[in-house]
Amino acid sequence: MYIPKHFAEPRVEVLHQLMRARPLSTLVTRCLNNGLNANHIPLHLSPQPGPFGTLRGHVARANPIWSDVGNDTEALAIFHGPDAYITPSWYPTKAETGRVVPTWNYVVAHAYGTLCVVDDPVWLRGHLEQLTAHNEARFDAPWKMSDAPPDFLEKMLGAIVGIEIVINRLVGKWKLSQNQSNQNRNGVVLGLRHGEDSDASEMAALIENLDNVQ
Protein backbone atom coordinates (compact mmCIF):
# COMPACT_ATOMS: atom_id res chain seq x y z
CA MET A 1 0.00 0.00 0.00
CA TYR A 2 1.30 3.42 -0.96
CA ILE A 3 1.43 5.59 2.18
CA PRO A 4 2.71 9.17 1.97
CA LYS A 5 4.34 10.11 5.26
CA HIS A 6 1.61 12.58 6.25
CA PHE A 7 -1.06 9.85 5.87
CA ALA A 8 0.77 7.16 7.87
CA GLU A 9 -0.80 5.86 11.10
CA PRO A 10 1.86 3.85 12.98
CA ARG A 11 0.16 3.59 16.40
CA VAL A 12 -0.73 -0.03 17.07
CA GLU A 13 -3.46 0.88 19.56
CA VAL A 14 -5.21 3.05 16.96
CA LEU A 15 -5.05 0.30 14.34
CA HIS A 16 -6.31 -2.26 16.86
CA GLN A 17 -9.23 0.02 17.71
CA LEU A 18 -10.29 0.07 14.05
CA MET A 19 -9.87 -3.71 13.71
CA ARG A 20 -12.11 -4.31 16.72
CA ALA A 21 -14.71 -1.72 15.70
CA ARG A 22 -14.95 -3.02 12.12
CA PRO A 23 -13.92 -6.69 12.21
CA LEU A 24 -15.25 -7.65 8.75
CA SER A 25 -11.96 -7.96 6.89
CA THR A 26 -11.09 -8.45 3.25
CA LEU A 27 -8.76 -11.45 3.55
CA VAL A 28 -6.42 -11.88 0.58
CA THR A 29 -4.48 -15.12 0.01
CA ARG A 30 -2.86 -16.92 -2.91
CA CYS A 31 -4.38 -20.31 -3.78
CA LEU A 32 -2.25 -23.02 -5.35
CA ASN A 33 -4.65 -23.58 -8.26
CA ASN A 34 -6.56 -20.33 -8.70
CA GLY A 35 -4.16 -17.51 -7.90
CA LEU A 36 -5.25 -14.61 -5.73
CA ASN A 37 -8.33 -15.19 -3.61
CA ALA A 38 -10.25 -12.56 -1.63
CA ASN A 39 -12.80 -13.39 1.06
CA HIS A 40 -14.81 -11.19 3.40
CA ILE A 41 -14.44 -12.69 6.85
CA PRO A 42 -14.96 -11.26 10.36
CA LEU A 43 -11.72 -11.74 12.29
CA HIS A 44 -11.45 -11.54 16.06
CA LEU A 45 -8.33 -9.76 17.33
CA SER A 46 -6.34 -10.97 20.32
CA PRO A 47 -3.55 -8.62 21.51
CA GLN A 48 -1.12 -11.49 22.05
CA PRO A 49 1.59 -12.09 21.08
CA GLY A 50 2.85 -8.53 21.00
CA PRO A 51 3.33 -6.15 19.47
CA PHE A 52 0.67 -6.77 16.80
CA GLY A 53 -1.49 -9.64 18.07
CA THR A 54 -3.35 -12.54 16.43
CA LEU A 55 -6.42 -12.73 14.19
CA ARG A 56 -8.78 -15.69 14.48
CA GLY A 57 -11.75 -16.62 12.33
CA HIS A 58 -13.52 -19.46 10.58
CA VAL A 59 -14.62 -20.37 7.07
CA ALA A 60 -16.88 -22.93 5.42
CA ARG A 61 -15.21 -26.25 4.63
CA ALA A 62 -16.21 -25.69 1.00
CA ASN A 63 -14.11 -22.50 0.90
CA PRO A 64 -10.73 -23.18 -0.82
CA ILE A 65 -9.03 -20.58 1.35
CA TRP A 66 -7.96 -23.37 3.71
CA SER A 67 -7.71 -26.41 1.41
CA ASP A 68 -6.04 -24.85 -1.64
CA VAL A 69 -3.12 -23.11 0.03
CA GLY A 70 0.45 -24.18 0.62
CA ASN A 71 2.48 -24.20 3.80
CA ASP A 72 3.54 -20.77 5.06
CA THR A 73 0.93 -18.99 2.94
CA GLU A 74 1.13 -15.24 3.52
CA ALA A 75 -2.20 -13.57 4.12
CA LEU A 76 -3.26 -9.95 4.08
CA ALA A 77 -6.29 -8.89 6.13
CA ILE A 78 -7.63 -5.44 5.21
CA PHE A 79 -9.84 -3.60 7.70
CA HIS A 80 -11.84 -0.70 6.30
CA GLY A 81 -12.85 2.28 8.40
CA PRO A 82 -15.07 5.23 7.44
CA ASP A 83 -14.60 6.87 4.05
CA ALA A 84 -16.05 9.94 2.37
CA TYR A 85 -15.91 11.85 -0.90
CA ILE A 86 -14.44 15.33 -0.44
CA THR A 87 -15.68 18.02 -2.81
CA PRO A 88 -13.38 21.01 -3.43
CA SER A 89 -16.45 23.21 -2.90
CA TRP A 90 -15.86 22.75 0.82
CA TYR A 91 -12.43 24.41 0.66
CA PRO A 92 -12.42 28.17 1.36
CA THR A 93 -9.38 28.45 -0.90
CA LYS A 94 -11.53 27.43 -3.90
CA ALA A 95 -12.97 30.96 -3.99
CA GLU A 96 -9.48 32.45 -3.62
CA THR A 97 -7.42 30.53 -6.17
CA GLY A 98 -9.53 27.74 -7.68
CA ARG A 99 -6.46 25.51 -7.39
CA VAL A 100 -8.23 22.59 -5.69
CA VAL A 101 -9.53 19.21 -6.85
CA PRO A 102 -11.82 16.48 -5.43
CA THR A 103 -10.42 13.63 -3.37
CA TRP A 104 -11.52 10.70 -1.20
CA ASN A 105 -10.73 10.41 2.51
CA TYR A 106 -10.51 7.00 4.18
CA VAL A 107 -8.85 4.98 6.91
CA VAL A 108 -7.58 1.41 6.55
CA ALA A 109 -5.43 -1.06 8.45
CA HIS A 110 -3.45 -3.82 6.69
CA ALA A 111 -2.44 -6.83 8.78
CA TYR A 112 0.06 -9.35 7.35
CA GLY A 113 0.94 -12.82 8.61
CA THR A 114 1.07 -16.53 7.86
CA LEU A 115 -2.29 -18.25 7.47
CA CYS A 116 -2.62 -21.32 9.70
CA VAL A 117 -5.52 -23.76 9.42
CA VAL A 118 -6.97 -25.04 12.71
CA ASP A 119 -9.14 -28.11 12.16
CA ASP A 120 -9.79 -28.74 15.86
CA PRO A 121 -13.34 -28.81 17.30
CA VAL A 122 -12.17 -27.75 20.79
CA TRP A 123 -10.30 -24.73 19.40
CA LEU A 124 -13.20 -23.91 17.12
CA ARG A 125 -15.77 -24.00 19.91
CA GLY A 126 -13.65 -21.74 22.10
CA HIS A 127 -13.14 -19.31 19.21
CA LEU A 128 -16.86 -19.17 18.46
CA GLU A 129 -17.72 -18.58 22.11
CA GLN A 130 -15.30 -15.63 22.22
CA LEU A 131 -16.50 -14.25 18.89
CA THR A 132 -20.15 -14.56 19.85
CA ALA A 133 -19.66 -13.00 23.29
CA HIS A 134 -17.84 -10.04 21.73
CA ASN A 135 -20.48 -9.36 19.07
CA GLU A 136 -23.54 -10.07 21.24
CA ALA A 137 -22.43 -7.88 24.15
CA ARG A 138 -24.33 -4.86 22.81
CA PHE A 139 -27.70 -6.62 22.86
CA ASP A 140 -30.10 -6.67 25.81
CA ALA A 141 -30.55 -10.44 25.53
CA PRO A 142 -27.25 -11.77 24.12
CA TRP A 143 -27.43 -15.01 22.16
CA LYS A 144 -25.23 -17.83 23.49
CA MET A 145 -24.13 -21.01 21.78
CA SER A 146 -25.99 -22.98 24.45
CA ASP A 147 -29.24 -21.45 23.13
CA ALA A 148 -29.02 -23.73 20.07
CA PRO A 149 -29.88 -27.46 20.20
CA PRO A 150 -26.68 -29.51 20.78
CA ASP A 151 -27.15 -31.71 17.69
CA PHE A 152 -27.75 -28.69 15.46
CA LEU A 153 -24.69 -26.94 16.90
CA GLU A 154 -22.48 -29.98 16.31
CA LYS A 155 -23.64 -30.10 12.69
CA MET A 156 -22.79 -26.42 12.23
CA LEU A 157 -19.37 -26.87 13.87
CA GLY A 158 -18.59 -29.73 11.53
CA ALA A 159 -19.21 -27.53 8.49
CA ILE A 160 -16.51 -24.95 9.30
CA VAL A 161 -12.75 -24.78 9.78
CA GLY A 162 -10.73 -22.37 11.92
CA ILE A 163 -8.06 -20.01 10.63
CA GLU A 164 -5.43 -18.09 12.58
CA ILE A 165 -2.99 -15.36 11.57
CA VAL A 166 -0.22 -14.19 13.91
CA ILE A 167 0.36 -10.66 12.68
CA ASN A 168 3.98 -9.95 11.74
CA ARG A 169 3.41 -6.59 10.05
CA LEU A 170 0.73 -3.98 10.65
CA VAL A 171 0.38 -0.72 8.72
CA GLY A 172 -2.30 1.94 8.61
CA LYS A 173 -3.29 4.78 6.31
CA TRP A 174 -5.36 7.62 7.73
CA LYS A 175 -6.12 9.97 4.80
CA LEU A 176 -7.79 12.85 6.64
CA SER A 177 -6.98 15.96 4.58
CA GLN A 178 -3.64 16.37 6.38
CA ASN A 179 -2.25 17.90 3.18
CA GLN A 180 -4.75 20.77 3.40
CA SER A 181 -4.58 23.99 5.40
CA ASN A 182 -6.44 24.36 8.68
CA GLN A 183 -9.12 26.49 7.05
CA ASN A 184 -9.70 23.90 4.34
CA ARG A 185 -9.88 21.10 6.90
CA ASN A 186 -12.42 23.11 8.85
CA GLY A 187 -14.41 23.50 5.66
CA VAL A 188 -14.30 19.74 5.09
CA VAL A 189 -15.58 19.08 8.62
CA LEU A 190 -18.47 21.53 8.13
CA GLY A 191 -19.36 19.96 4.80
CA LEU A 192 -19.30 16.45 6.20
CA ARG A 193 -21.42 17.48 9.19
CA HIS A 194 -24.19 18.71 6.88
CA GLY A 195 -24.70 15.21 5.47
CA GLU A 196 -26.72 12.42 7.05
CA ASP A 197 -24.30 9.61 6.24
CA SER A 198 -22.80 7.89 9.30
CA ASP A 199 -19.42 7.46 7.61
CA ALA A 200 -19.33 11.21 6.89
CA SER A 201 -19.96 11.97 10.57
CA GLU A 202 -17.22 9.56 11.64
CA MET A 203 -14.84 11.09 9.10
CA ALA A 204 -15.56 14.59 10.41
CA ALA A 205 -14.81 13.43 13.96
CA LEU A 206 -11.53 11.84 12.86
CA ILE A 207 -10.42 15.07 11.17
CA GLU A 208 -11.32 17.10 14.25
CA ASN A 209 -9.42 14.68 16.47
CA LEU A 210 -6.43 14.96 14.14
CA ASP A 211 -6.34 18.71 14.69
CA ASN A 212 -6.60 18.19 18.45
CA VAL A 213 -3.64 15.77 18.38
CA GLN A 214 -1.55 18.18 16.37
Q: What is the pLDDT of residue 72?
A: 76
- Kindly give, in sequence order, each residue whose CB lies less than 8 Å from that of residue 57, ignoring residues fewer than 6 positions away: 25, 27, 41, 42, 43, 44, 127, 131, 162, 163
Kind of pairing between the strands at 44-46 and 74-86 = unpaired
CA–CA gap between residue 78 and residue 169 (Å, rounded): 12
Q: What is the pLDDT of residue 212?
A: 56
Q: Is the sign of the CA dihedral 84, 86, 92, 93 positive or negative?
A: positive
Q: What is the pLDDT of residue 96?
A: 84
CATH number of the CATH domain containing 52 = 2.30.110.10
Q: What is the pLDDT of residue 214?
A: 47
Q: What is the pLDDT of residue 210?
A: 80
Q: What is the pLDDT of residue 211?
A: 57
Q: What is the pLDDT of residue 190?
A: 95
- Listed as ranges, residues in the chain with pLDDT below 70 are 211-214
Q: Which residues pair with 99 in a beta bridge?
A: none
Q: What pLDDT, in 10s, does the model give residues 1-15?
A: 999 999 999 999 999
Longest dimension (CA), the chain: 70
- For 76, 97, 113, 162, the CA distances from 169, given in Å and listed in that order, are 10, 42, 7, 21
Provide the domain count of the chain.
Answer: 1
Q: Which residue range(s) make up the domain with 77?
A: 5-213
The residue count of the chain comes to 214
Computed on alpha carbons and rounded to an integer, the radius of gyration of the chain in Å comes to: 21
